[in-house]
A and B are shown apart, each in its own frame.
Chain A
């Protein structure tokens, strides 16, 4: 994205997150309830291999994505809908801008969509002089705060009710209150006007269904239904992988999505759209446009190491269990996609070197894989990314990330293969370490370039005598005992 050059570093943002008290409280709440809750639901399934089979179907659909998208397109076009394929983010943005200018659109209402954030849709519309209003309550708050989302399902968990109260007081000109029902009611009033008067509704797409030719959208608030019912034009932005081949596959993905995201059997609304509304209908859009976006996804699809990640249904469960996300929050990831899924998908979409910190920040503990409704092996993919960063990879345009680290480990590898030199050096270090030992006999501050190793952890000191020395001494001693025994 455009703001990359001026963005703050992962480390700085992570530190800010750790110090942000409302964020910490929000993260604790969401992780205790939803992360654990999702695991509990999977455990309660009558059929423990269900998720595996859903994944198998999902992967089969991805392997036939050309056929599946052709079917989806055919069925939507038959109902009079338009389908456009956007190779890049810019192509998608241009398509929507052209459409908006042709139809003289002045006001756009949005349903929560990460794809829209990925391609920078809002900024582009605003630059074209079009008013854009986010209508999901969390996204609306984030927009008023001129901020970005910090969770893929709960965008404003970094703000508490007091901050939101002050924000509404300032921006909506209402008396200060920190009562969530009153704040929600104020947003309801303000947004209702927008929803009833906009000329265009822009949404994402949770899961399309090729067999029937629909996209489907889940929401609890009803804003997405409003945004796809009241304006004359509905534009849906869809990452090209977000499609189920059959209604059957849709059923299982939908139920895993709503359970994984919010422990719900179904969200309040699941709405299906597959074209403009019929002539003479009192509501529904006169025009329906589906923009299917590649923007780097075909490259992921072509790489057997990463194609699995396209099975993701963006439920957010992996954020709700990840120990790293659970501490630092979403902003550190510098992307609409945060948490473990963000740590894999963001580098793949926007450059592996560009987002090198993300895969290194995760711990590879495996919790995300366990909780993922489609059992995505994110830890494996994080390791592959680390490998590419260590050694470089021309196919993904990766250059070795940390040259001095690389040099150090090459030297180290040569050293351990030269035992004599190694032992001398170890013994020498045993002496040299003395000034660095802390009172509790740990190395807690290394000099020069190595200090990073000890900023967040202590190292045990090198032992006075090595295991090898002790072994040798032991051997000599026991030989002596044996000899002594023989003499007696």
Chain B
């Protein structure tokens, strides 16, 4: 008997004795039975908010997450350029920026704008080692999100080609970009989205900059991930998702 068989046999004999709660014979049956027990986590103290952007902003403030609402892609690009101009350096000697190679971010056309500030700009495409090097050399990482969640000020990112994980992690500052038509109200809605697509090996929910309160419960931003985070919400003129 191999490792798996041994384990499953043992477990099967234990679980089979649980007469009361054991009702399903297959995983599909179990999943079906679970669907009958709905458990949405909702908090009645939440302000009732029709406007998801306002709700996102409301929940971002306590997380020290900066939210910028931009009227179009051009406005978004200008906002990013302004952040890049003002922000200071932490790990590196000069300013460089890396961005996900994603259709949303290509619309920003950041290259020429940043060239004016003499900031080298990289995309996460091409050679893996090159991307790694550029990521470590960048002080800002710009990422494209799949969805936003207003109730927790969260961005959800699937790890897919052109969107590696370290862009939102290794640089000191993370800028997440999301068209407003992909901003959802609740986490439950976001999970519903995840249920309907084949999921990649990795995905992540990000709600604000990295932080720690391990020393005397004193809140400090920038433990191991970015110490500063901006979310750019781009108006998409009501275009459908």
A binds B: yes
Partner of A67, one of B6, B24, B210: B24
Inter-chain contact A255/B166, CB cutoff 8 Å: no
Most B Cβ at <10 Å: residue of A45, A62, A211, A246: A246
Q: Which residues of B contact A277 (CB under 8 A)?
A: 159, 201-202
Partner of A45, one of B43, B188, B203, B204: B43
Per-position 1/0 for B1-42, Cβ under 8 A of A:
001101110111011011011111111001101110111111
Given known A246-B34, A269-B205, A274-B199, contact A60–B21 (CB-CB < 8 A)? yes
The answer, yes or no, to whether B194 is at the interface (CB within 8 Å) is yes
CA distance A229 to B165 in the complex (A): 7
B71-79, B106-114, B215-223, B230-238: which lies at the interface = B215-223
Inter-chain contact A45/B44, CB cutoff 8 Å: yes
Per-position 1/0 for A371-388, Cβ under 8 A of B:
000000000000000000
CA distance A449 to B105 in the complex (A): 77
Per-position 1/0 for A230-242, Cβ under 8 A of B:
1000000000100
Given known A180-B216, A226-B169, contact A268–B210 (CB-CB < 8 A)? yes
Inter-chain contact B43/A46, CB cutoff 8 Å: yes
Partner of A180, one of B12, B24, B206, B215: B215
Most B Cβ at <10 Å: residue of A41, A225, A282: A282
CA distance A280 to B204 in the complex (A): 20
The answer, yes or no, to whether A482 is at the interface (CB within 8 Å) is no
The range of chain B's interface size is 35 or more
The answer, yes or no, to whether A472 is at the interface (CB within 8 Å) is no
Given known A220-B210, A221-B212, contact A298–B14 (CB-CB < 8 A)? yes
The answer, yes or no, to whether B152 is at the interface (CB within 8 Å) is yes
CA distance A69 to B24 in the complex (A): 14
Residue of B nearest to A255 (CB): B41
CA distance A281 to B22 in the complex (A): 42
Given known A214-B199, A221-B225, contact A85–B3 (CB-CB < 8 A)? yes
Scan residues 177-207 of chain B and give those whose CB is less than 8 A from a CB of chain A: 187-188, 191, 194-195, 199-207
Per-position 1/0 for A4-45, Cβ under 8 A of B:
000000000000000000000010011001000000010011
Partner of A284, one of B14, B165, B170: B165
Inter-chain contact A222/B44, CB cutoff 8 Å: no
Per-position 1/0 for B141-169, Cβ under 8 A of A:
00000000001101000010100111001
Inter-chain contact B222/A188, CB cutoff 8 Å: yes
Inter-chain contact A66/B15, CB cutoff 8 Å: yes
Inter-chain contact A226/B154, CB cutoff 8 Å: no
Per-position 1/0 for A51-95, Cβ under 8 A of B:
001101101111111111111010000010101110100000000
The answer, yes or no, to whether B128 is at the interface (CB within 8 Å) is yes
Residue of B nearest to A275 (CB): B201
Partner of B223, one of A56, A137, A210: A137
The answer, yes or no, to whether A267 is at the interface (CB within 8 Å) is yes
Given known A67-B27, A265-B151, contact A59–B21 (CB-CB < 8 A)? yes
The answer, yes or no, to whether A173 is at the interface (CB within 8 Å) is no
Min CB distance, A149 to chain B, in Å?
Answer: 11
Min CB distance, A163 to chain B, in Å?
Answer: 10
Inter-chain contact B223/A47, CB cutoff 8 Å: no
Number of A positions contacting B (CB below 8 A) = 108
The answer, yes or no, to whether A341 is at the interface (CB within 8 Å) is no
Min CB distance, B123 to chain A, in Å?
Answer: 11
Q: Which residues of A contact B209 (CB under 8 A)?
A: 268
CA distance A255 to B41 in the complex (A): 7
Q: Which residues of B contact A269 (CB under 8 A)?
A: 204-207, 210, 225
The answer, yes or no, to whether B81 is at the interface (CB within 8 Å) is no
Partner of B31, one of A156, A246, A267, A268: A246
Q: Which residues of A contact B91 (CB under 8 A)?
A: 192
Inter-chain contact A87/B205, CB cutoff 8 Å: no
Q: Which residues of A contact B3 (CB under 8 A)?
A: 84-85
Inter-chain contact B206/A229, CB cutoff 8 Å: no
Partner of B4, one of A64, A83, A138, A272: A83
Q: Which residues of B contact A302 (CB under 8 A)?
A: 14, 17
Inter-chain contact A265/B210, CB cutoff 8 Å: no
The answer, yes or no, to whether A441 is at the interface (CB within 8 Å) is no
The answer, yes or no, to whether A50 is at the interface (CB within 8 Å) is yes
Inter-chain contact B220/A251, CB cutoff 8 Å: no
Inter-chain contact B215/A161, CB cutoff 8 Å: yes
CA distance A69 to B5 in the complex (A): 12
Inter-chain contact A301/B223, CB cutoff 8 Å: no
Inter-chain contact B204/A271, CB cutoff 8 Å: yes
The answer, yes or no, to whether A349 is at the interface (CB within 8 Å) is no
The answer, yes or no, to whether A398 is at the interface (CB within 8 Å) is no
Q: Which residues of A contact B215 (CB under 8 A)?
A: 137, 141, 156, 161, 164, 180, 183-184
Inter-chain contact B169/A225, CB cutoff 8 Å: yes
- Beyond contacts A225-B169, A282-B164, A301-B11: 15 other A-B pairs, Cβ-Cβ < 8 A, are A26-B217, A45-B42, A47-B42, A50-B39, A57-B34, A70-B8, A87-B7, A185-B222, A211-B31, A221-B211, A222-B210, A256-B41, A265-B59, A266-B205, A273-B202
Can you report 5 residue pairs joining A to B where beta carbons are below 8 Å apart?
A156-B215, A161-B216, A223-B224, A266-B207, A278-B201
* 10 tightest Cβ-Cβ pairs between the two chains A and B: A222-B225, A221-B223, A63-B21, A282-B131, A85-B7, A138-B214, A180-B218, A222-B210, A66-B11, A282-B128
